[in-house]
Structure 1
Amino acid sequence: MRSRRGAASASTWWTPIPERTRTQLRVGRLVKAHGLKGALKIELYTDEPERRFTAGAEFSLQVPTSSKWHRKTLTMTDFKVFNGNPVGFFEGIDDRSEAETLVKAVLWVEQDATELPTEPDAWYQHQLANLEVWRDGVMVGRIARIDPMPAQDLLVIANGDTEVLLPFVRAFVPTVDLQNGRVEITPPNGLFEDPDPADAEPEPQGAGRRADAAEADADAPAGDEPEVPEADTDADAEPASEADPAKD
């Protein structure tokens, strides 16, 4: 889900197909086995974990075609948080060895393509993908995808042969009009135009004097090279020890 308030959740974009009433949302990834009873740590790709990860929730799996889980689904039996880490339990996954066969699997859920998030001023990525981007009455591109970032998400706008990154915040994207398939933007100056030469940074003062001094030194008579003292070294210094690997 994408929110202009900056809620970050890593996910991929999904191009909507108008005639479809259902789509899929990527909501998480299984990253590591947890404990000995088949639990798995989950990297969340959703702002609504309490809604997506409930007992009985069914997930489609994105795995390599060589995986035993290819074209299969998982059903959740329980969802807990241990030391800040989301952990899921699933039907048929009863030991650590079986859990490890699911590591790196991406979890997808079915979603009504027209449903909006419950959070105000927020949209799902498949609803934003491919929308027209308008500025001052002129179409300047289309939304290619959304890149999640820690502070706020970035709209990646296809503008001809280039891509322009625009923070997805109200100041720059005041209007999202799903009904008409467009967003209105008020980007910073220069984002969609060639930079004005007048805006170029001036050459730092003194640069010319340094060049003149170098030329003067080149014309000076050659002499003995100045002796450069050796830098002190700490022979007793030892490299920092590596941190112990994280454990479950």
Structure 2
Amino acid sequence: MEKIEIGQIVNTHGLRGELKIKLDTDFANERFKVGNTVFVGDLPLVVHSFRMNKGMALVAFKELLDINLVEKYKGEKVFVNREDIKDDGKGYYFFDLVGCEVIDQHGTSLGIVDEMIDTAANPIMRVNQKILIPFVDAFVKSVDLDQKQIVIEVIEGLL
């Protein structure tokens, strides 16, 4: 079963077992919906409560409703099963794009997608840790996950 990382526990919050989680997902409300199962490492846990505070998720799990039970999980990564993620109709998710080669309209390789960054305006691909390309239809012409390739149209001033 493939697991997808959705965040990392950075600290505890309060005495009732809430954990402060730095998110690595665009759909925190869906991923941490009360009753959903997520994994801290390989340990399955059921979400008891979820709220956002200063850009971080505050999550408590039914099995761990005490600060003494959760302190040992600081630094751990949080995952979901890939099959638990609903298809959004595109046929891929942003985490699928990391590792893909980006090629311009002339067939020249620009590098590998290191990260997808979600901004208020639009998502951005970070390529080779230095090139930032908006992930919008004006630039992205095709995504082929089988070939691990993304074809973009480069316009003057983009790179």
- Range into which the TM-score falls when normalised by the shorter chain: 0.7 to 0.9
Following superposition, which runs of at least 4 residues in structure 1 exceed 6 angstroms of deviation? Answer: none
**Match in the other structure for 1:36:** 15
**Match in the other structure for 1:235:** none
For residue 150 of structure 2, the aligned residue among 163, 167, 183 is: 183
For residue 75 of structure 1, the aligned residue among 26, 42, 45 is: 45
Within 2, Cα distance between the matches of 1:82 and 1:174? 35
The alpha-carbon deviation at position 53 of structure 1 amounts to: 1.9
Structure with greater proportional strand content? 2
Within 2, Cα distance between the matches of 1:119 and 1:50? 19
Within 1, Cα distance between the matches of 2:52 and 2:98? 35
Given that 1:60 and 1:73 are in contact with CA atoms closer than 8 Å, whether structure 2 keeps it comes out as yes
The alpha-carbon deviation at position 95 of structure 1 amounts to: 1.9
Given that 2:105 and 2:154 are in contact with CA atoms closer than 8 Å, whether structure 1 keeps it comes out as no
Given that 1:40 and 1:99 are in contact with CA atoms closer than 8 Å, whether structure 2 keeps it comes out as yes
What TM-score, normalized by structure 1, do the two folds share? 0.50
C-alpha change, 1:150 and 1:93, in structure 2 (3 Å) is: same
- For residues 5-63 of structure 1, the C-alpha deviation after alignment (integer angstroms, 9 at most, x for no partner) is xxxxxxxxxxxxxxxxx4321112223322222122333221223432242503042xx
In the alignment, structure 1 residue 164 sits paired with structure 2 residue 119: no
In the alignment, structure 1 residue 101 sits paired with structure 2 residue 72: yes
Q: Please list, as runs of the form range in 1=range in 2, the aligned pairs for 1:14-163 lying within 5 A after superposition.
A: 22-54=1-33, 55-61=35-41, 72-81=42-51, 86-112=57-83, 117-118=87-88, 120=90, 123-125=93-95, 127-148=96-117, 150-151=119-120, 152-158=122-128
Instruction: Give identity over the alignment, percent.
Output: 25
- State which structure, 1 or 2, has the greater radius of gyration over its C-alpha atoms: 1
The alpha-carbon deviation at position 81 of structure 1 amounts to: 1.9
- For residues 213-245 of structure 1, the C-alpha deviation after alignment (integer angstroms, 9 at most, x for no partner) is xxxxxxxxxxxxxxxxxxxxxxxxxxxxxxxxx
Q: Matched residue pairs, number?
A: 155
C-alpha change, 1:181 and 1:102, in structure 2 (3 Å) is: closer
The alpha-carbon deviation at position 108 of structure 1 amounts to: 1.6
- Name structure 1 gaps, 5 residues minimum: 1-21, 62-71, 193-248
Over aligned residues, Cα RMSD in angstroms?
Answer: 3.2
